[in-house]
Structure 1
């Protein structure tokens, strides 16, 4: 495989919070450089954990198991500190570069928070402030969740990245802000070659935005393909209908399982590469 062909490579990953119930076992995934990849699945399917592993926030055994930009996601701290890898989750605290944890609900102005991030291109900063319609006089302890989210997103995007991991970050945004932000991400991938992995349950407009789709079910990779080649889109009116069909099918299978079904033992239990809650770290 040529270097740089894929921005993200996961080879035989094993991970668990509970050693009796492995979440990922022999999990494999590749995400092409410059793609806009949707990560879909039901609640509890492992989407957030996968993004946090890719962001280097959880350790898995072996340096070559999870690689981002051909570097170890967990062991190479320069990925995050150097700005090549960025992660935006649902927390109201955001680690920005080496600035540490920044509380987004304290009595601070939006201007204080945004301009407190050092080493920023002022043109990019002004573009994001305008794009997200941020009033620099907002007091962070008084604004709405949506306004606070805009400041969080702005701060997380101030430094250009090569790989961006997004976990439900648009959930509090109105339609206009969300569509403008998605268009910004499109430009980032098309003009700068950035790779974006976006986990969401909101699919409006994503048929023409995304280039790839990854579907995870209970820690198992069910689909990973180009969106343009997704067969189900020929039978359903939109992406929302396709994902709804998948998740309803999951529910029917779960209901058919015996209530007293015993979980089969897994070779994960004796694997020397297993990970647990005690091996989870935060950058």
Structure 2
């Protein structure tokens, strides 16, 4: 068998910004190896969701080689999504076949109808996820709570063992027990820390020095974010106009709009 020597995800010198706003990423580089799991952390507005959407191919960024997933262009090579090799599970649920735009998971049908309607699934994996997320197959999706609906969404997103699975705030709307059980389902082997569109750190958790002197990963991340917040508070609110640099994005064709993301 031919050996694959490429990364699962590789971002090289990426530049990106939304129209009319400051750049989100400037010369951003990231590499994630096959078989690894990466936990993305950062304060609100640091660019985490934007980065995940870019990796999912929802925004065009630069040329074909700037953002590559499984050695393919994340935006241009649509077979990544069609084949099921790449999946993005974000804040809202959308069908991947035969529909356009966002379709809320709120129709008058059962959880069983949704979950068992996915073809080509390992039944053992399906039963494990149903038990893990404590899903009642008789739930009517238009009557359940946001947390219960979220459980069904997560279950459907994890039914297939995708080669690259992007999860954005996957524990939103889940109670404490469900969050802990779900996080135990994953093994966070790598950590990437983003601040103001810049990749500050990327480490193996086993090599994270702060973790050896801290109770848990949450405490380490909290210390980073508190330090970041305190630093931001000390910065002047309105810097003098003469100190403001012209953005390289002002004439760039690769600006994007939050409302014009490419859905697929």
Name the residue aligned to 1:98.
Answer: 97
Residue 217 of structure 2 corresponds to residue 239 of structure 1:
yes
Tell me the secondary structure at the aligned position of residue 201 of structure 2: strand
CA distance in 1: counterparts of 2:20 and 2:28, whole angstroms: 16
Aligned with residue 259 of structure 1, among 237, 240, 246: 237
Shift of 1:168: 0.9
Residue 16 of structure 2 corresponds to residue 36 of structure 1:
no
Q: 1:167 to 1:250 in 2, by over 3 A?
A: same
Deviates most, 244-253 or 227-236: 227-236
TM-score when normalising by structure 2: 0.88
Query: Paired residues, what number?
Result: 256
Shift of 1:271: 4.2
Shift of 1:141: 1.6
Structure 2: unaligned runs, 5 residues or longer: none
Residue 246 of structure 2 corresponds to residue 275 of structure 1:
no
TM-score when normalising by structure 1: 0.83
Residue 229 of structure 2 corresponds to residue 248 of structure 1:
no
Q: Is the 8 A contact 2:58 2:261 kept in 1?
A: yes
Pairs within 5 Å for 1:208-223: 209-223=187-201
Tell me the secondary structure at the aligned position of residue 253 of structure 1: helix
CA distance in 2: counterparts of 1:5 and 1:252, whole angstroms: 39
CA distance in 1: counterparts of 2:170 and 2:120, whole angstroms: 24
Residue 160 of structure 2 corresponds to residue 182 of structure 1:
no
Name the residue aligned to 1:74.
Answer: 75
Deviates most, 170-179 or 220-229: 170-179
Shift of 1:58: 1.2
Name the residue aligned to 1:205.
Answer: none
Deviates most, 61-70 or 120-129: 120-129
